[in-house]
Structure 1
Amino acid sequence: MKSLRKVAIIDCGGLSILPSGLQFCTALRELQLWNCPLVTSISVGGLSSLQNLSVFACPLLTSIDGLGDCTSLESLNLSDCPLLGSIPIIQGMPFLRSLKIRGCGGLSILPSGLNCCTSLQELSVSDCPLVTSIPIIQGMPSLRQLEIACAGLSSLPSGLRFCTSLEELSIQGGCFRELPLPSISCTRVLRRLTIRGCCELTSISMSSHPESEEESFPSLLVLRIEDCTSLESIIPADLQGFTCLRELTIQKCGKLKYLPTGLHCLTRLEAVNVGGLWEELDSFPDLQLPPKLFLYKLALYGWPKLKCLPQIHHLTCLTRLEIYNFGGLESLPDWLGNFEYLEALNLIKCENLKYLPTLEAMQRLTNLKTLYIWRCPLLEERCISNGPEWPKISHIGVQTRPSWFVEEDSS
């Protein structure tokens, strides 16, 4: 079948080998192999026109042969193949743009020819616990997205500073204690930076020259630092140079005792998610956000001993406020009534919360459409129909367990 362009082999439980004539399908551009539990090897030799190769959920697959013949390959996606031990990219693939590897537990080394894939724009390696390093040495000038989520990762690629087109960098898991991010040459176009679930990480450095006034991340729009339970320091401690930032998330970092300063200079912020810091702190750190900031969302993550909210009374243009895990909070302040643009208020896991703002303050919230209350037992009881708080909220849609909420988000 010389004119065949696409082959999809899906849910073939009895199939153990691919069709013997596949190598003669010289016009084949796309090959998909999904959920074939008995297949142990794949040969794609001779498929010089192949552009897209996807292999999902083949638990006995140990090898992919002939990959070097696929000189036109643009996308390679390998997922949930736990016995796959190697990916034979030796000399590089000049047209490869996307490489995604997920759930390949037997893979310990990425292809040596990765550096020669000069057209690669997207690289994602996740759930491969034996992978300890990513072989980017000379840099990939076309790379735009890099996602690494491997528990055994001990360092960032040495050539990352030469990836001058990198726009998105996501680092999840890993066993490093310090994370020195790349030099300025790499970060000029970086737009999204995510650091999540790095439990051994104690320090993040986002500036190769802390004394320099030159902006290290002049294009950064999104900064997320989450679930780094050992994190103690973020360098620089002042984020005033991150002037393009639209979203800032620093949460669930239980050893962090402070938030970065300089937030008053971030006038383009649209969403802020902060908190879940060192539980011995008696008060929430001052956010120092600019007055009249048009935030569409502010999420505050507290801890059991906190009795009051941070001073955010100047954020009168806020449209969505979420309050999590303020264990000592008993009443909401009346200055919330000044949030004339507030449309949604979420109150979650505040066990001692009893009182909303006064009736007068609640009546000033003329744009408030939804009130979510969950795991706030004292307040929930007071907010039932004809309860003490009911007159304050009878005109608002109230839910006591939002359908979108996932319990782990409140911890």
Structure 2
Amino acid sequence: MTCKRLTMWMPASPYIQSEILFPKLETLEIQRCPQLEKVPCLQLQSVKDLKLDKVGDTQSLKMEKMKVLPQKLSYFSKLENLTVRYCENMKSIPNGLMSLKKLAVQKCPSLACIPDDLSSLNTLEIRVCPLLACIPDGLSSLRELIVIDCEGLQSLPKSLKECSSLELVCICECPLIKGPIPDLGRLEGLVKLYLINSGELMIPCLQWIPNLHSLWELKIGGFGNTPNLPKLTYPHSLRNLSLQDFPNIKFLHQQFLPSTLHSLEIFRFDELEQIPEWIGNLSSLQSLTLLHCNKLKCLLPLKHATLQALYIADCPLLTERCAKDGGYEWPHISHIPNIHIS
């Protein structure tokens, strides 16, 4: 439903509130209704998917006027997926969502807390919620935890280290995270881990990442102004590695990467001028991606690399140097079957 001028959806008569309407309705989406001031307290017991997108986000509407919807979500007794986006004045998600399996919240600048009774939740995704300070315990069924650009987040649930069902953890751009930091090295089923610029989480993770024996994708970076990559032992299961946000590193020292590594991404190395020799010696490496490396100009070590794909984007010095007709670096990479430069 998209109605920019809608201010009230259905009259809130006692008869309507007592009835179960749309008994077979499973998906309800309310999008781009900035003037909406009231939603009736409907007993939509069949709804499994509820999406609120840009609802009541104008200056004339305060979310408190819509308490009927956020405070009565328990009427959605079968609700499994809840998505809330661009609701500027929403301060909390109510308790009582016992059947909820996925909660996704994006760009809700007033959100300060989420429920602490989400034991059935499989996926928690929170993006750009600057007032959220903590994530509660009790997420015992969680498989995916995604927290991005939550500038006020200070703590992670202590019980996270015991959540054996976790397969994906993504915590990026949360610079105020403080201890105690849960030891995720016990999570034997973790296959994807993304940790970027997230406060006191960054240093302890170097100790427990080597214990993640099922890990096959790692994105890591944002350790401040360090001139060198931090020392890290990579799990032998690792297939994909992304190194990000090292603005002061001029040279990539030898990294002892597993022989199983298939793809490597180097992203936002502002001072890096040359690809190191050891990258050309990675016999298992099939794909190399170079992004936002402003001073990178030399790809000589790739001359004998067995790469199948090379991706280059926003590396201004390489655009001309890798030109097919006369580019200085072209002879070093021309043997690679798939080359994409932008």
| TM superposition score category, shorter chain reference | 0.7 to 0.9
Deviations 1:257-282 (A, max 9, x none): xxxxxxxxxxxxxxxxxxxx222x23
**Structure 1 residue aligned with 2:51:** 77
Aligned-partner Cα distance in 2 for 1:206–1:368: 38
| Counterpart pick for 1:66 among 41, 46, 65 | 41
Instruction: Pick the aligned partner of 1:142 from 120, 128, 144.
Output: 120
- Is 1:99 the counterpart of 2:82? The answer is yes
Post-superposition offset of 1:39: 0.8
Distance of aligned partners of 1:42 and 1:301 in 2 relative to their CA distance in 1, 3 Å threshold: same
Cα separation, 2, equivalents of 1:174 and 1:226 = 12
Q: CA deviation at 1:203?
A: 4.4
Q: CA RMSD in A?
A: 3.1
How far apart, CA to CA, are the structure 2 residues paired with 1:388 and 1:109? 57
CA distance in 1, matches of 2:176, 2:169: 19
For 2:30 and 2:112, locate their aligned partners in 1 and report how far apart those are by CA, in whole Å: 23
Structure 1 position 171 matched with structure 2 position 147: yes
CA contact (8 A) 1:204 1:234 kept: no
Do the aligned partners of residues 164 and 355 (structure 1) sit closer, same or farther apart at CA in structure 2, a change above 3 Å counting? closer
Taking structure 2 as the reference length, the TM-score comes to: 0.79
Q: Deviations over 1:189-244 (max 9, x none)?
A: 12222223324334461249xxxxxx64333222222243x446554652144333
**Structure 1-normalised TM-score?**
0.67
User: What secondary structure does 1:178 align onto?
Assistant: coil
Q: In structure 2, list runs of 5 or more residues that go unmatched.
A: 11-15
Structure 1 pair 357–127 and aligned structure 2 pair: CA distance change class (3 A): same
Aligned pair 1:52/2:35, yes or no?
no
Cα 1:394–1:189 change in 2 (3 A) is: closer
2:6 is matched with which residue?
A: 39
Question: 1:312 pairs with 230, 250, 255, which one?
Answer: 255
SS at match of 1:238: helix
Residues 389, 348 of structure 1: CA spacing in aligned structure 2 closer, same or farther, 3 A cutoff? Answer: same
Cα distance, 1:58 vs structure 2: 0.5
Question: Are the equivalent residues in 2 in contact too, given 1:108–1:132 (CA < 8 A)?
Answer: yes
Counterpart residue type for residue 308 of structure 1: F
Q: Is the 8 A contact 1:183 1:216 kept in 2?
A: no
Q: Which amino acid aligns with 1:400?
A: I
Q: Which has more radius of gyration?
A: 1
- Match of residue 163 from structure 2: 187
CA distance in 2, matches of 1:369, 1:145: 33
**Bigger relative contact order (CA 8 A; separation at least 6):** 2
State the match for 2:246 in structure 1: 303
Matched residue of 2:332: which SS? helix
Per-residue deviation at 1:76?
A: 1.7
SS of 2:193's partner is strand
**Using a 3 Å threshold, how does the CA distance of structure 1 residues 374 and 182 change in structure 2: closer, same or farther?**
same
SS of equivalent residue, structure 1 residue 61: coil
Mapping of residues 2-401 of structure 1, within 5 Å: 33-34=1-2, 36-43=3-10, 45=17, 46=19, 47=21, 49=23, 50-67=25-42, 69-81=43-55, 82=57, 83=61, 84=63, 85-86=66-67, 87=69, 88-89=71-72, 91-111=74-94, 114-115=95-96, 117-136=97-116, 139-149=117-127, 150-157=129-136, 160-161=137-138, 163-174=139-150, 176=152, 178-183=154-159, 187-203=163-179, 205-207=181-183, 216-228=186-198, 230-231=199-200, 233-235=202-204, 237-239=206-208, 240-251=210-221, 253=222, 277-279=223-225, 281-289=226-234, 293=236, 295-301=238-244, 303-312=246-255, 315-357=258-300, 362=303, 364-370=304-310, 372=312, 374-377=314-317, 379-384=318-323, 385-396=325-336, 397-401=338-342
In structure 1, distance between residues paired with 2:111 and 2:32: 19
Residue 311 of structure 1: CA displacement? Answer: 1.2
- Unmatched tracts of structure 1, length 5 or more: 1-32, 209-214, 254-276, 402-411
CA distance in 2, matches of 1:296, 1:246: 5
In 1, are the aligned partners of 2:6 and 2:36 still within 8 Å (CA)?
yes
Residue 224 of structure 1 aligns to a residue in which SS? Answer: strand
Secondary structure of the equivalent of 1:73? coil
Q: Distance in 2 between matches of 1:243 and 1:295?
A: 8
